[in-house]
Amino acid sequence: MHTPSPHALLVLRLAQPGDTLTHTRCIGFIEEHVYLGMSGRWMCGRPTRDTVRLDGSEFEVDDISPENVTHINRAPVTVIELLAASWLAKIAKVSARALAQRKQSPSVKKRTVE
């Protein structure tokens, strides 16, 4: 059974239908496809105008490996990964601060109406 790499798992988590995927093909060719969805473990896509112009193929493909995706919407996947880690760290810090403040503040008792 194929076990995806952390890079492939990140690509699969981030890519949404309609995103432009830049990826490598056999012998190092670079292509772009508009992501359509999955077919088993392969990503499916429709070629962009640039790919059609350079390669000549207008057909949808169903054999894009998540391992080979280098960019999502022309942003490098490695940068997206760094930004995601940075944002997660900030969110964790803010959440921890809010939790600490909540523990320090006196509890508010609800008043009942008689």
Q: Render pLDDT for 39-76 as a digit per residue (tens, 0 to 9).
A: 999 999 999 999 898 876 788 999 999 999 999 999 99
Q: Sorting pLDDT into bands at 50, 70 and 90, what band is 110?
A: low
Question: For position 41, what pLDDT does the model report?
Answer: 92
The answer, yes or no, to whether residue 89 has pLDDT greater than 90, is no
Domain that holds residue 44: 6-75
* Residue 21 near residue 43, CB atoms below 8 Å: yes
Supply the CATH number for residue 64's domain: 2.30.30
Domain count along the chain:
1
pLDDT mean over 91-113: 68
Model pTM?
0.69
19 inside domain: yes
